[in-house]
Amino acid sequence: MNQQTYDIIIVGGGMTGASLAIALSGHGLRIALIEAAPLKVDTVPNYDDRGIALALGSQRIFAALQVWDSMADQAESIRHIHISEQGGFGFAHLDADEEQVLALGYVITARNLGAALLKRLSRLTDIDIIAPERVQWVNIEDDLAHIGLKQQTLCARLLVAADGGNSFIRQQLCFDVKRREYGQSAITANITPDQPHDNVAYERFTRNGPMAMLPMTEQRCAMVWTVRDEMVGEILSLNEQQFLNRVQQQFGWRLGRLQRTGIRNSYPLSQLYVPDTIKPRAVVIGNAAHTLHPVAGQGFNLGIRDVAALAEVVLQGIRSGEDPGSTVVLGHYQNWRKKDQRRVVQLTDALVRGFSNDILPLKLARNLGVLVLEGLPTARHLIARTAMGMQGRLPRLSRGLPL
Ligand SMILES: Cc1cc2nc3c(=O)[nH]c(=O)nc-3n(C[C@H](O)[C@H](O)[C@H](O)COP(=O)(O)OP(=O)(O)OC[C@H]3O[C@@H](n4cnc5c(N)ncnc54)[C@H](O)[C@@H]3O)c2cc1C
C-alpha cells in the first residue's frame, strides 16, 4: 500500500478543522484535510440551521482569514445582551457602545458559516481534501503519525484531531476525558417575532431551562431552548401554533407575538473536557477537546481560538526550524490554551448547574447576583470582554494580524 506524507493531517472538516486548514494554508506546508462525509454544506453533519453566536474575537479571526466577507451578508450583529430570569426581579445587560465596539458579536447559521469556509477552501490549492473518507486506525511513531483510510495510509509530522465530540482519534490515542451528563437537550428553531429584535440577544433562565433568543438576519431570531430530555418528544410533536405558544410562555412578550417558526431540531447535551490536549505528534482541538452546553454560546468560539493559537504556534515553530509535531511546539500550544479552555468549561458548567435549580435561597442569590452585576460597570466590562473572546493573551488572528 502506498503511503502519502504530509506536514500536517487534520481529521474533521467541521467548522474547527476547516478553519484550521484555511489558517495554515499559504505557508509552504503539505496539508491534508480528511472528512468522513462528502465535504459539501448539505452533507457535513453540523453545517445545519443552528444559529451560531460568534464572539467579536471570532469574527476578527474570520476577517483575518479572508472568510468574513462571504459571511457578512448572512450575519446579524449583537449590540446588546439582556439576561433575565422568569419570575425573578433581577436583570443585567451588556452593551456594545459601553464596550466601544460596533458589535459584541454576530449570529449566523452554521450552514452559512460552513458554506463560507468551504468556498474559501475550494480556492486553496495547497490543501489535499480527502472526503468522504473515515480514518480507520492511528499509529504514532517517533518521527511520524500514521493513519489508515480504506485504501491508503497517510503520515505526517503532526496529526490534528478536529473530529468532534465523539473523536475517534482521541479514543484511539487514549486521551483522558472528563464528562458530565446533564440529562438535558437543546431544541433549536429560527423564529420570526412581530417586533424588531433591535440587535438584542436575550438569555432568559426559565423554570424549564435556559432559553436564548439571538438576533438574526430578516428579523428572525435563533432560539436555543434547553429542556429536560424527557420533554423533547412532546415539544417536537406539537404543531406549529402550539409550539409557538409554548415558546411564548417561556420567553414572554419582549419581542411581541412570536409569529412563525422554521425547522425544529434537538441535540442531546453533555459536557466533555480533555485536560491534556497533546501527545507526541498529536493534538485535539475544537469539540474533540471540549464539548460544551450551548447555554453561553461559547463552544465554537473556544474552538476557533484553539485554531488561531495552534496555527500561530506551529508556523512560528516551523520558521525557527522546529518540528511542528514535537512536544516543545505542542507544549507551547497547550500552555497557551489551557487557562482559557478550563475557564470557559467551568463557567459554562456553573451557569448550567446554577440556573437549573429552583431552591428559593439559590434563586434569590441569582437575582441579587444579576442586580449587583447590573450596578457594577467593571464586572460587566470583564464579562463583556469574556463574552467577546477578548480576554487573556490573544492570538495574532484575533487582533486582525496575519500569521
Ligand atoms: C444547539 C447548539 C447551539 C450551539 N450554539 C453555539 C453558539 O451560539 N456559539 C458557539 O460558539 N458554539 C455553539 N455551538 C457549538 C458548536 O456547534 C460546536 O462547537 C461546533 O459545531 C464544533 O465544531 P467541530 O468542527 O469542532 O466539531 P464537529 O462539528 O463535530 O465536526 C467534526 C467533523 O469530523 C468528522 N469526523 C468524525 N470522525 C471522523 C473520522 N474518523 N474520520 C474523518 N472525519 C471524521 C465529522 O464528520 C464532522 O464533520 C452550539 C452547539 C449546539 C448543539
pLDDT reported for residue 210? 87
Q: Using a 6 Å cutoff on CB, does residue 255 contact ligand 1?
A: no
Position 374 scores a pLDDT of: 62
Q: Which domain holds residue 145?
A: 3-75+106-179+273-356+393-399
Q: Is residue 251 part of a domain?
A: no
Whether 300 is in the pocket of ligand 1, judged by its Cβ within 6 Å, is yes
Closest C-alpha to 72, from 23, 29, 28, 106? 106
Residue 383 within any structural domain of the chain? no
| 288 vs 291: CA distance, rounded Å | 7
Closest among 126, 189, 130, 134 to 163, alpha carbons compared = 134
In this predicted structure, what is the pLDDT of residue 89?
Answer: 60
Handedness of CA 304, 42, 103, 96 (dihedral sign): negative
Q: Give a yes or no: residue 302 inside a domain.
A: yes
> Residue 364 has what pLDDT?
56
Q: 186 CA to middle of ligand 1, Å?
A: 14
Which amino acid would we find at residue 392?
G
Does any domain span residue 116? yes
Q: Which CATH number fits the domain that encloses residue 342?
A: 3.50.50.60
**Distance, CA of 37 to CA of 35 (rounded, Å):** 6
The answer to whether residue 62 is domain-embedded is yes
Which amino acid is located at 32 in the chain?
Answer: A
Cβ–ligand 1 contact at 169 (below 6 Å): no
**pLDDT computed for residue 369 by the predictor:** 60
Atom of ligand 1 nearest to the CA of 162: 26
Q: Is 291 in the pocket of ligand 1 (CB under 6 A)?
A: no
Number of Cβ atoms within 10 Å of the Cβ of 95: 15
| pLDDT of 372 | 57
In a domain, 165, yes or no: yes
10-residue block means of pLDDT along the chain (403 residues)? 89 98 97 98 95 96 96 97 76 87 96 98 96 98 97 97 98 97 95 97 85 96 95 97 96 96 95 97 98 93 98 97 97 97 91 67 58 65 84 91 91
57 lines ligand 1 (CB under 6 A): no
Q: Does residue 105 have its Cβ closer than 6 Å to ligand 1?
A: no
**Whole-number pLDDT of residue 371:** 56
- Per-residue model confidence (pLDDT) at position 1: 61
Determine the pLDDT at residue 215.
98
Contact between 39 and 16 under an 8 Å Cβ cutoff? The reply is no
User: What's the CA-to-centroid distance between 210 and ligand 1, angstroms?
Assistant: 21
* Helix, coil or strand: residue 134: coil
- Residue 231, domain member (yes or no): no
Which of 52, 214, 227 for mutating ligand 1's site (highest number of atoms within 8 Å of CB)?
52
How many structural domains comprise the chain?
1
Q: Which of 11, 163, 216, 236 to mutate to test the pocket of ligand 1 (most atoms within 8 A of CB)?
A: 163
> 299-319 vs 15-24: helix axis angle to the nearest 10?
30
Specify the pairing of strand 153-161 against strand 282-284: parallel
Q: Which helix (H) or strand (E) holds 322?
A: none
3-state SS class at 136: coil
